Amino acid sequence: MAIQTTLATRYWLKTIMMAFVCLVLGLWGVYDLVITIPRNIEYSARHKFLVESVQPAMDSPLGSIERGDALINLQERIFKSDGLDQEWFNSMELFVRAIDGGNELIQRDAIATLATDSTKYEVVEPSKFDWYMQWVFAICIPFALYYFYMYLKMKSRASLYSYENDGTLSTPEGTWSSEEIIDIDMSRWIAKTGNARSTWTAKAVVSPDTKILLDDYMFTDMHLIIGALAHRFYPEDWTPLAKRVKVESVDEGVDEILQQQEEE
């Protein structure tokens, strides 16, 4: 039965998690840059306007300079308003009627609305640091796309590794028959020293100058391909499962011979 590799769970799970985290952070950054920060800047400006202009005007007598300035500012804001925030638009119109000498009912409504809006729009004005941080989050989106791309690429690559019953090895680098594979380099496979990551790898030798990397960390069941080649070239050292052949010690062999002689 042919051996076919798949993308290792340890790799695709980590890659998908990284892509998801980067995507969430990136979208969070974009949302804050496009919606949250501009909204808080506007809310902060409204709160400042209510506290520094509308409130003093409401507390001043008719015909005062404070009322005149507040009316001019309110009318200018109403004129420039895009009408999207109807609640704020209605509040400004109410303040105009109240400051311009509206009746007692209008005055009470304006005072209540002023208190409500002052609380609603009381937010901390975003700083430059907030802008910079959200840009840092936003640029996580390209990294998310990179991780998704690597997942798809490596998943496709995993499907290209196979080892047929006749000894044919297929890899992304090409296909080689049993006769074309001349050796396998097992120097790093489950080695006890050196780079730990490389101990998951072996190399199929297809020419004196060409070695094909076989990576069991990235691809599930690659150890079966490695084991098949290693057992073919070094049957006394490696099993078909790419495990070292257990060799009994000389002392154990001598003990068994002596025990047999005593039994005879």
Q: How far is residue 127 CA from its own chain's centroid?
A: 26
According to DSSP, the residues that pair with 7 across neighbouring strands are 219
Residue 142: inside a domain:
no
Residue 202: inside a domain:
yes
164 burial (CB, 10 Å; 0-12 / 13-18 / 19+) is middle
Question: What is the distance in angstroms between the CA of the first residue and the CA of the last residue of the chain?
Answer: 46
Residue 148: inside a domain:
no
208 and 128 in one domain?
no
Please say which residue of 114, 132, 150 terminates a domain: 132
d(C-alpha 130, C-alpha 126), whole Å: 6
Predicted pLDDT at 254: 47
41 and 97 in one domain?
yes
221 and 126 in one domain?
no
Q: How far lies 112's CA from each of 66, 116, 166, 169, in Å?
A: 20, 6, 87, 81
DSSP assignment, residue 91?
Answer: H
114 and 22 in one domain?
yes
Q: Which domain holds residue 12?
A: 8-132
If we measure between CA atoms, which residue out of 199, 189, 174 comes closest to residue 230? 189
258 and 174 in one domain?
yes
Q: How far is residue 249 CA from its own chain's centroid?
A: 52
d(C-alpha 142, C-alpha 23), whole Å: 8
Predicted pLDDT at 249: 44
d(C-alpha 250, C-alpha 228), whole Å: 28
Predicted pLDDT at 256: 56
Predicted pLDDT at 3: 95
If we measure between CA atoms, which residue out of 16, 34, 29 comes closest to residue 145? 16
Q: How far lies 254's CA from each of 236, 248, 258, in Å?
A: 21, 10, 6
Residue 238: inside a domain:
yes
d(C-alpha 34, C-alpha 126), whole Å: 13
192 and 121 in one domain?
no
The C-alpha angle with vertex 167 and arms to 161 and 170, in degrees rounded to 5, equals 25
116 and 72 in one domain?
yes
Ordered per-residue pLDDT tens for the chain, 264 residues: 799 999 999 999 999 999 999 999 999 999 999 999 999 999 999 999 999 999 999 888 888 898 899 999 999 988 888 878 899 999 999 999 999 888 889 989 999 999 999 999 999 999 999 999 999 999 999 999 999 999 999 999 999 999 999 999 999 999 999 999 999 999 999 988 888 888 999 999 999 999 999 999 999 999 999 999 999 999 999 999 999 997 654 444 445 544 555 555
124 and 17 in one domain?
yes
Helix (H, G, I), strand (E, B) or coil at 83: coil
Instruction: Give the predicted TM-score (pTM) of the model.
Output: 0.74
Residue 212: inside a domain:
yes
Predicted pLDDT at 251: 45
Structure tokens at 184: 């396998």
Structure tokens at 83: 């009408």
